[in-house]
Amino acid sequence: MTLATFIVSQAQWVNDPASNTFIANTSADACEIYLSTDPVSGNTYMQWSQFASNGWVPKVQRLNFAGQPQWDASGLQPASQYTLPSWSKGFAMVATSDGGMVSCFSTKAGQSVAVKINADGTYPWGEAGVVLFNGLGGSRVELLAGDDGGVWALATDNTFSYLCYIYPNGTTQANITIADDGGWNCTFGQLVPAPDGNVFVVYEKEQYAYTYFYEKDVRVVGYRKDGTQFANDVQLMAPVTIPGSYIHHVVPDGLGGGYVYIWHPAGLGGTHNTYVFHFNQNGAPTILETTGVPVHELDPNNLYLDAYATVDPDSHDLLIAYRQTDAAYQAESKIYINRITASGEKLWGDGLLVVDNGTMHLGNIHIDAYEYGGGFSVIYHQDANSNIEAKGYDMEGNNTWNTTMSSSTYNKTGDENSTGFHGGQNIVAWVNSSTGGLYGQNIGQDGSMGQMIPPTPPAPCDPPTNFKGEYYYYEEVFGARLEWEAPETTPLHYNLYVNSLKEVIEIGPEYTSWMESLDPGDYVFRLTAVYDDCESNYALTEAGEDYVFFTVTSLDEQTDGETVGDGKIYTIDGRCLGTTLPDSFRGMYFQNGKKYVRF
């Protein structure tokens, strides 16, 4: 307790790369470091694994925003009630929305266990936690924080995958089993937040091909907390044969969908590369290539792997960093970055070079978007014994700063993930694998380290909502009528983008509809709200699309000059009433190209 108190009162983020911040006592062989920050409190939870008397166990520590450890100097051990295997079956940890954290691990008996710890170090579900999936699972657990202090939990027994929601009080909702009737294994699932508190599971179906190789495809399916599906099981990647150790990774796109990326050869005899996929908030693929979009030019002489990705919160484009090495000897090492849209367009061509390290290994690559957009950082280890470097970039791919985060020369075992930017700072951690000890360092959006002043959040840049529209007919003139709901903050004006018109139509902030006659043709409409210092994302329709599409036809094309044959009823101002006139309606209306009056 004396040592723990000393750490709390003395330790904090430093700005000296030669020393860095001491976080916890660990064994020299500690690894599997996971980090998760609660964006409300600024607390960062860190979990690592090491040997203990009851097996290969997780240990956890909590840091406040200033980088001061808040628990025992050796961390808390959430698995103390169980016997764990002597090797890792897979661990997970996540900060919850009520300020605590949940750790999940597998016991030697094959159970998946989740333990919740409050910020004060108490155990609201008891020190034994919750045994999940009726004792099934037992390998490769995943967690995703819910919107109420609970978590989604996923595990596998290497044949089936199991999913459930754990509520804040520790009770679980219906267990879901993901299986394949054809005998394929359903494994390596990862979780992505979906609209309305739901979840997407992105998983692999695989079957043995030959030594060390499996035939795999990647699929996505959506579930509600009660166990029912809200999105069909859909294939993202067609089957390819790759080494079993190469699995997919997922990042949410900020719009209810996600990006998926995986290293594979794009078919028998293909070129090894990292390939990208995307699905929208309905679970539908938006990149049509069934092998995905390669992050770099296809090149049989080089491999592009070890990727790590994030998403820009403004454009919702994927920002991905990856390592290039030569295919023949895997001796060379370079890091590239690329920016890829949800439709698969590569905005930076064949990638931008971050660093060329010659034959010195580069590893532990992280890339993180700034929390309010405008840029990102790339962090990497030059090799196991050398510097941890960071570089900042704007959204045009220009290098804006360079920082050495750690110049200590001891061996470093890096973390599995960074925290991402919260309150203006991003955090990485590592273990001194020569003598033990968990160390960490924060870095700001300007490349500074040490004490951080959180940035001022930008003014809301909310888009209009419930965007909808249709064509109308009035006095032998066809046109378009669009409607939307105004955002909470009144914009300066709206911008209406029409695919076939060169100019942008500016609409006053007092309006929530627009109507205009148009020439015959196909039209795609997109709408944004413009504020003092930003322009919003496109407004979404009820179906989640960021556009409205319909065809405007002439009277002659529709009805040979007599009637409009869609059967819909329109008011004099172009408003569509459907195909049945409401009993309460009185006045002039139009149907099938003819005028009517109801008194």
Domain-located, residue 403: no
Domain-located, residue 126: no
Closest of 121, 236, 136 to residue 179, by C-alpha:
136
pTM for this prediction = 0.82
Give the count of alpha carbons within 13 A of 398, CB side only.
Answer: 4
Between CA 236 and CA 258 the distance in angstroms is: 11
- For residue 569, the model assigns a pLDDT of 74
Residues 6+ apart with CB under 8 A from 171: none
Q: How many domains does the chain have?
A: 1
Domain-located, residue 484: yes
- What CATH number has the domain bearing residue 527? 2.60.40.10
Domain-located, residue 535: yes
Q: How many residues does the chain have?
A: 599
Between CA 13 and CA 44 the distance in angstroms is: 13
Residues 6+ apart with CB under 8 A from 488: 460, 462
- For residue 267, the model assigns a pLDDT of 65
Residue 549 to residues 133, 360, 523, 527, 574: CA-CA distances in angstroms?
Answer: 45, 53, 6, 12, 17
The helix or strand, by DSSP H or E, that contains position 9, with its residue range, turns out to be helix 2-10
**Domain enclosing residue 482, as ranges:** 465-598
Written as six digits, the tokens of 422 are 């919260």
Domain-located, residue 16: no
Question: Which residue in the block uniquely carries the two structure tokens 């070129």?
Answer: 271
Between CA 34 and CA 427 the distance in angstroms is: 11
What is the chain's pLDDT, residue by residue, as a tens digit (599 residues)?
233 333 444 569 999 999 999 999 999 999 999 999 999 999 999 999 999 999 999 999 999 999 999 999 999 999 999 999 999 998 999 999 999 999 999 999 999 999 999 999 999 999 999 999 999 988 889 999 999 999 999 999 989 999 999 999 999 988 999 999 999 999 999 999 999 999 999 999 999 999 999 999 999 999 999 999 999 999 999 999 998 889 999 999 999 999 999 999 876 567 889 999 999 999 999 998 999 999 999 999 999 999 999 999 989 999 999 999 999 999 999 999 999 999 999 999 999 999 999 999 999 999 999 999 999 999 999 986 679 999 999 999 999 999 999 999 899 999 999 999 999 999 999 999 999 999 999 999 999 999 999 998 888 889 999 999 887 766 666 778 899 999 999 999 999 998 866 678 999 999 999 988 877 777 889 999 999 888 998 999 988 888 998 777 654 443 333 334 466 776 655 567 777 777 777 666 666 655 565 65
Between CA 341 and CA 535 the distance in angstroms is: 18
The string of DSSP codes covering 239-263 is EEEEETT---EEEE-SSS-EEEEEE
The string of DSSP codes covering 381-448 is ESSTTS-EEEEEEETTS-EEEEEEEE---S-EEE-S-----BTTEEEEEEEETTT--EEEEEEETTS-
Residue 26 to residues 72, 102, 241, 409: CA-CA distances in angstroms?
Answer: 12, 20, 39, 18
**Which residue type, as a one-letter code, is found at position 276?**
V
Between CA 567 and CA 563 the distance in angstroms is: 10
Between CA 445 and CA 373 the distance in angstroms is: 10
Give the count of alpha carbons within 13 A of 512, CB side only.
Answer: 11
Domain-located, residue 208: no
To 10 degrees, the CA torsion angle through 224, 227, 233, 239?
120
- For residue 173, the model assigns a pLDDT of 86
Q: Do 564 and 555 contact (CB within 8 A), yes or no?
A: yes
Closest of 100, 145, 44, 150 to residue 421, by C-alpha:
44
- For residue 550, the model assigns a pLDDT of 78
Written as six digits, the tokens of 124 are 């609201």
- For residue 478, the model assigns a pLDDT of 73
Closest of 526, 501, 516 to residue 574, by C-alpha:
516
Between CA 255 and CA 281 the distance in angstroms is: 7
Phi, psi of 3 (to 5 degrees): -65, -45
- For residue 140, the model assigns a pLDDT of 85
- For residue 514, the model assigns a pLDDT of 92
Domain-located, residue 166: no
Written as six digits, the tokens of 308 are 């790590």
Closest of 473, 408, 237, 420 to residue 312, by C-alpha:
420
Q: Do 83 and 109 contact (CB within 8 A), yes or no?
A: yes
> Using CB atoms within 10 A of its CB, is residue 551 exposed (0-12), middle (13-18) or buried (19+)?
exposed
Between CA 445 and CA 378 the distance in angstroms is: 11
In a 3-state reduction of DSSP, which class is residue 556?
A: helix
Phi, psi of 515 (to 5 degrees): -140, 135
Phi, psi of 399 (to 5 degrees): -75, 120
Domain-located, residue 543: yes
**DSSP, res 69:** B
